Amino acid sequence: MSITATPTPGSNLLKPDDHALILIDFQSQMSFATKSIDAVNLRNNAALISHAAKSFNVPTILTTVAEKSFSGPMFSEITEAFPGQKLLDRTSMNTWEDAAVIDEVNRIGKERLVFAGLWTSVCIVGPTLSALDQGFEAYVISDACGDVSEEAHERAMERMIQAGVRPMTSLQYMLELQRDWARTETYESTTGIAKKFGGSYGLGIIYAKTMFGASEGH
C-alpha cells in the first residue's frame, strides 16, 4: 500500500488560533534563584514568545504569585507586549488550582495550551500535569523556563515529557506560528521580533537586510 504525500502541515504543529499561551511567575524574586539559565537569555526568550503571541493574536494568560507581598513585578518585557492586561495573582504554587486562572482557561476555550515560566519543577510541572489529567494538550517552551539548578530543570522536563507534555523552544514557537515567509501580513512583525530578541539569528537578519536588502521568501 503506497502513501501519498500532500503539502499540508502536521496536526501536532501549533497554529496561532488553536492554542492559548500561559505565562507563569516571570517575577524578580523567582528569577533571583534561577540558575539553569542566565537572566539575559531568560528575559530575551520570555520577551520573544510574548511579542510573538501578541503579533499572532494568541490568547495569553499572565499570572503571578504573591506579586505585592513577596515575588515582585512580572518582567516588563512581557507586560509591554500586553499593555493594560490584568495579571492574575495567586497564592497557589500550582496555577491550575487557582479558580480565576481556570475561569480564564475556560473562557478562552482552547484545548491546546502552551506554558512557560518559573520554576520549571514547581510552577510548570503542576499545571501541565494537571491539564493533561483533564484532557488538555500541553506544550512547554523549555528555554523560556528556569529552575534553581540545571538538574531541577532537566528532571522536571523529563518528568513532563514522560507524562505526555511536548517540549519546544522560544524561537521554534514563533517560527512555527509564522511557518511560511509568504504570509506577508506577519512577515515584518516576525522578523522585527527576531531582530530585537532573536540573538544571533536576529543579527543575521539585520546583516542580510542591511547589506543585501535580502528577504525570506523572495
Alpha carbon distance 61, 177 (integer Å) = 18
Active site residue 145: no
Which of the following is catalytic: 21, 116, 123, 125?
123
DSSP secondary-structure letter at 75?
Answer: P
Render 77-132 in DSSP notation, one character per residue: HHHTTSTTPPPEEES-SSGGG-HHHHHHHHHHT-SEEEEEEB-IIIIIHHHHHHHH
174: CB partners within 8 A, 6+ apart: 48, 49, 52, 190, 193, 194
C-alpha–C-alpha distance, residues 96 and 27, integer Å: 18
CA pair distance 140, 149, nearest whole angstrom: 18
> Is 207 buried (19+), middle (13-18) or exposed (0-12) by CB count in 10 A?
exposed
* 21 contacts 147 by C-beta, under 8 angstroms: no
Tell me how far apart the alpha carbons of residues 76 and 208 are, in angstroms, rounded to a whole number: 30
The catalytic site residues sit at 123
